[in-house]
């Protein structure tokens, strides 16, 4: 299979924001609060992109469980089903979109309207843990678009230099930041069929208050038996997402970008386990709540009280 794979995945797993420009926005897969990876956790279940085959998640005796976790992303599906002669490794490739007219679309978070005149800056990750390089800066046009030249053509897709950090600001709104990686590039072309890349960045007013989040007390559970987790979250300007995690596990139990926030968790080991619920609002403020649940070994009956 050709295209983005585990190498590019790990290039995008952690990149430090060295710009010195607010807001600071490290790209960090391991940080559950990371805004880029928040809605993309399922990518880790793609064997071409993720870590589902790591030994700690894939014991030799349980390959069936690993296969049950495997899910191909839409981007990977498109890559597998594409004429391999059209990939960037070939000089005559027509597969990838052009990088010379890449555009940043700046909008108002509440209304979706364009923000003409917004100040925009774009940095590129040169790789090898080097500081980010300022690639372009300027102001958005009347349609809220800032067009720039990526300045590398197909070479960026073969040497792991595809991470772009975009920051923007507009009068009366809080500065915002977003990342664009090779996975976005492949999905925009392979899945959406775009001719040029677009990086969307929505700006909103300053919001200091975090969301509120709660999780009802849980009764005893049993190994191998599903438990329904139904946290409640709210925010004055709207909750952007909720994530449910179990202490000691890297993969979230479930990640939501909209209500209702309910899913099933199947305990894999006995003992006291801690459930953590993380809520995030549109401004990136977060709040957490935890609850302990006692898990009985399989085959034991929970005594009635």
Do residues 40 and 179 both lie within one domain? Answer: yes
176-180/212-214 β-pairing: unpaired
Note whether residue 278 is domain-resident. Answer: yes
Note whether residue 104 is domain-resident. Answer: yes
Do residues 182 and 280 both lie within one domain? Answer: no
Q: Among 203, 230, 246, identify where a domain stops.
A: 203
Do residues 170 and 227 both lie within one domain? Answer: no
Do residues 235 and 172 both lie within one domain? Answer: no
Query: Pick from 115, 78, 73: which is nearest to 200 by CA?
Result: 115
Note whether residue 301 is domain-resident. Answer: no
Averaging pLDDT over each range in 1-5, 36-40, 201-205, which range is the top one? 201-205
pLDDT in the model for residue 60: 52
Note whether residue 1 is domain-resident. Answer: no
Do residues 40 and 172 both lie within one domain? Answer: yes
What is the percent of the chain where pLDDT is above 90? 43
Do residues 181 and 282 both lie within one domain? Answer: no
Do residues 111 and 224 both lie within one domain? Answer: no
pLDDT in the model for residue 2: 37
Please give the angle made by the CA atoms of 258, 259 and 260, to the nearest 5 degrees: 140
Q: Which of 188-192, 231-235, 288-292 has the lowest mean pLDDT?
A: 188-192
Do residues 148 and 284 both lie within one domain? Answer: no
Confidence of residue 254 (pLDDT cuts 50, 70, 90): confident
Q: Among 170, 203, 236, identify where a domain stops.
A: 203
Do residues 164 and 267 both lie within one domain? Answer: no
- In terms of residue numbers, what domain contains 231? 212-296
pTM, full prediction:
0.81
Residue 263's CATH number: 2.60.40.10
Residue 34's CATH number: 2.60.40.1120
Task: Annotate the chain with three-state secondary structure.
Answer: CCCCCHHHHHHCCEECCCCCCCCCCCEECCCCCCCCCHHHHHHHHCCCCCCCCCCCCCCHHHHHHHHHHCCCCHHHHHHHCCCHHHCCCCCCCCCCCEEEEEEEEEEECCCCCECCCCEEEEEECCCCCCCCEEEEEEECCCCCEEEECCCCHHHHHCCCCCCEEEEEECCCCCCEEEEECHHHHHHHHHHCCCCEEEEEEEECCCCCCCCEEECCCCCCEECCCCEEECCEEECCCCEEEEEEEECCCCCCCEEECCCCCCEEECCCCCEEEEEEEEEEECCCCEEEEEEEEEEECCCCCCCCC
Q: Which residues of 119-137 are buried (b: 16+ CB within 10 A; e: fewer)?
A: bbbbbbbeeeeeebeebbe
Note whether residue 305 is domain-resident. Answer: no
- What's the number of domains the chain is made of? 2
Averaging pLDDT over each range in 158-162, 206-210, 229-233, 295-299, which range is the top one? 229-233
How far CA 260 is from CA of 55, 240, 242, 277, 284, in Å, comes to: 33, 12, 10, 14, 20
Note whether residue 304 is domain-resident. Answer: no
Do residues 191 and 216 both lie within one domain? Answer: no
What is the percent of the chain where pLDDT is above 70? 80
Do residues 83 and 120 both lie within one domain? Answer: yes
In the sheet with 196-203, reading across from the earlier edge strand, the strands are 145-148, 98-108, 196-203
Note whether residue 223 is domain-resident. Answer: yes
Do residues 55 and 134 both lie within one domain? Answer: yes
Note whether residue 251 is domain-resident. Answer: yes
Confidence of residue 112 (pLDDT cuts 50, 70, 90): very high
Q: Among 203, 236, 269, identify where a domain stops.
A: 203
């Amino acid at each position: 299979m050709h295209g983005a794979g585990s190498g590019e995945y790990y290039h995008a797993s952690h990149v430090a924001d060295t710009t010195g420009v607010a807001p600071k926005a490290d790209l960090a897969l391991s940080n559950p609060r990371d805004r880029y990876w928040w809605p993309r956790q399922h990518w880790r279940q793609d064997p071409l992109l993720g870590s589902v085959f790591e030994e700690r998640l894939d014991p030799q005796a349980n390959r069936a469980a690993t296969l049950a976790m495997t899910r191909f992303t839409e981007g990977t599906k498109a890559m597998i089903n594409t004429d391999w002669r059209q990939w960037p490794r070939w000089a005559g490739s027509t597969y990838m979109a052009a990088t010379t007219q890449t555009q940043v679309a700046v909008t108002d978070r509440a209304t979706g309207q364009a923000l003409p005149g917004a100040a925009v800056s774009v940095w590129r990750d040169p790789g090898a843990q080097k500081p980010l390089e300022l690639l372009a800066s300027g102001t958005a046009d009347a349609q809220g678009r800032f067009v720039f030249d990526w300045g590398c053509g197909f070479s960026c897709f073969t040497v792991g230099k595809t991470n772009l950090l975009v920051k923007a600001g507009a009068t009366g709104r809080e500065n915002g930041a977003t990342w664009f990686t090779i996975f976005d590039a492949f999905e925009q072309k392979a899945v959406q069929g775009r001719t040029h890349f677009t990086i969307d960045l929505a700006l909103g007013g300053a919001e200091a208050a975090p969301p509120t989040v709660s999780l009802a007390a849980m009764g005893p559970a049993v190994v191998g038996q599903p438990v329904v987790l139904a946290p409640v979250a709210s925010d004055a300007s709207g909750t952007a997402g909720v994530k449910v995690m179990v202490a000691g596990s890297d993969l979230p139990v479930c990640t939501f970008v909209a209500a209702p926030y309910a899913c099933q968790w199947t305990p894999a080991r006995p003992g006291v386990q801690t459930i953590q619920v993380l809520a995030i609002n549109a401004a990136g403020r977060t709040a957490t709540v935890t609850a302990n649940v006692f898990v009985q070994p399989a085959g034991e009956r929970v005594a009635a009280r």
